[in-house]
Structure 1
Amino acid sequence: MEIIEFGNSTIEYEVIKSSRKTIGFEVNPEKGVLIRSPKNLSSHQIKEMVKKKAGWILEKQEKLNEVKSKPVPKEFMSGEKLPYLGRRYRLKVTTKDIQGVSLRLYQGKFQIEVSNKITKEDRRELIHQEVINWYKKHAATKLEERVNKYKKQVGKEPAKIKIKEQKKRWGSCSSLGNLNFNWKIIMAPMSVVDYIVVHELAHLKYPNHSKDFWDLVGTIIPNYKEKQEWLRINGKQLNI
């Protein structure tokens, strides 16, 4: 690790040299500050370039510090809470003489019933999968409802609506006109869900992120930048 001092701040960075022709700067949430450099640059030359870029690096680090980390995995026990459409509902888990696991959102709680024949070793994973299935089912219903609400304003009809497991995207629009949504978005507030829906519907009209695209999104969701910021800060929290 290399270090520079900039005002009252210290910047640690790692240099990765390769056959590239230009120097690149990256602020990574896991790996820190990475400097990708051509092989012919000396340590002194790189350090001078890092000093010139220090303000940008510190700004990026500050933004990353705002991002909330991924939550601790649930044990799926009574008293824990799960998010749904921006609210957090307490779990009530009971053991009964039934088959498998059942789940419903009732009277302000996620009520989970578990077979008394299921071992403690299998219990957590079976409940976890049932919770995911519940989210996916309700995401399919709710997202179709929101697409139907906004498609007339956008002026485009999707070919299909699909609910998927996507690691890095909240939604996508295929060349076939299909809209794909990450099921985890159903944990976010409805206003954020609506932004994702309008964003992907707008891609049916404008495949890129052009000015026309953002103008269309802005006419329907005027404060869409607030929703982007919410996702940037809270996105990792949409997990179980």
Structure 2
Amino acid sequence: MNRHVLPGEPPVEITLRRSARARRISLRVSGVDGRVTLTLPKGASEREALEFAGEKASWLRGHLERRPDEVRVAHGAELPFRGQTLSVVSGPGRAVRLGSREIAVPGAPDRVGARVLGFLKEAARARLAEASDRHAAALGRSYARLTLRDTRSRWGSCSAHGGLMYSWRLIMAPDSVLDYVAAHEVAHLEEMNHSAQFWAVVDRLYGDHGEPRRWLRENGAALHRYRF
């Protein structure tokens, strides 16, 4: 993959990617991190692709300007936790403490982000383990292990060997969303596909999943704007 800069104000960095499956030149802006990818089909030249990007420059900059700004987690920042917005404040003692409207973080200011990250991952593991255990028991199956990652393309996965993987950022979403993702991945222990039978299992474990799926589609990308 090559990188080019689209001139103008502001300049935009573009990653060029060739794809044997692509049928036309296409331009994509990641909803997660704002990265711009210009995909070239077989036989297309870089000059032709960059001309295409230049024609889309106004649309591209407008799209990037509408993206929510990144939030650096520090004292004074606001952060979602289980669907509620909490303020990050300075606190006494050694442990991060959760209040009704705030997260109190003791220690040096330059360690606030790392300490909040540790708190979120610990909370995510506990909540996701509880939800996964509950859904697996309802299904009469067991999973091999549970791991957390900071994934960008998916909120969870289930391996052929029964390993569950989740994005720890789910702890920032409403409880119903986290619970739905856990039900979705546990359902793969029985159906390793997205067939009608699979969705019937999800319905059995969770119920009507339209609302949490909609929430993730509309709000999920914004969870990646928080930097620690």
TM-score normalized by the length of structure 1: 0.67
**Secondary structure at the residue paired with 2:183?**
helix
Q: For residues 212 and 196 of structure 1, what CA distance do their matches in structure 2 show? A: 17
Q: Percent identity?
A: 26
Q: For residues 82 and 18 of structure 1, what CA distance do their matches in structure 2 show? A: 38
- Superposed CA deviations along residues 57-113 of structure 1, whole A, max 9, x for unmatched, are xxxx9xxx7xx84542225123x221111111122215x6x7xx6411024321111
Q: Partner residue of 1:23?
A: 23
RMSD: 3.8
> Aligned letter for 2:155?
W
Q: Judge conservation of contact 1:69–1:236 (CA < 8 Å) in 2.
A: no
Q: For residues 128 and 42 of structure 2, what CA distance do their matches in structure 1 show? A: 47
- Superposed CA deviations along residues 93-137 of structure 1, whole A, max 9, x for unmatched, are 15x6x7xx64110243211112xxx4xxxx33x111111100111
1:234 lines up with 2:209 in the alignment: no
1:39 lines up with 2:48 in the alignment: no
Runs of 4+ in 1 over 6 A off after TM superposition: 16-19
Change (3 A) 1:107 1:31: closer
Q: Partner residue of 2:79?
A: 82
Q: Partner residue of 1:130?
A: 115
Q: Judge conservation of contact 1:82–1:90 (CA < 8 Å) in 2.
A: yes
Q: Where in structure 2 are the equivalents of 1:133-152 lying within 5 Å?
A: 133-152=118-137
Q: Partner residue of 2:195?
A: 210
Change (3 A) 1:77 1:162: same
Gaps of 5+ in 2: 1-15, 30-34, 45-58
- Superposed CA deviations along residues 129-165 of structure 1, whole A, max 9, x for unmatched, are 1111001111111111112222233332112222223
Q: Partner residue of 2:96?
A: 103
Change (3 A) 1:31 1:18: closer
Q: For residues 17 and 102 of structure 2, what CA distance do their matches in structure 1 show? A: 54
Change (3 A) 1:211 1:107: closer
The higher radius of gyration belongs to 1
Q: Aligned pair count?
A: 197
> Aligned letter for 1:83?
P
Gaps of 5+ in 1: 1-15, 41-60
> Aligned letter for 1:185?
L
Q: For residues 126 and 70 of structure 2, what CA distance do their matches in structure 1 show? A: 28
TM-superposed CA distance for 1:25, in Å, is 6.3
1:72 lines up with 2:58 in the alignment: no
Q: Judge conservation of contact 2:22–2:39 (CA < 8 Å) in 1.
A: no
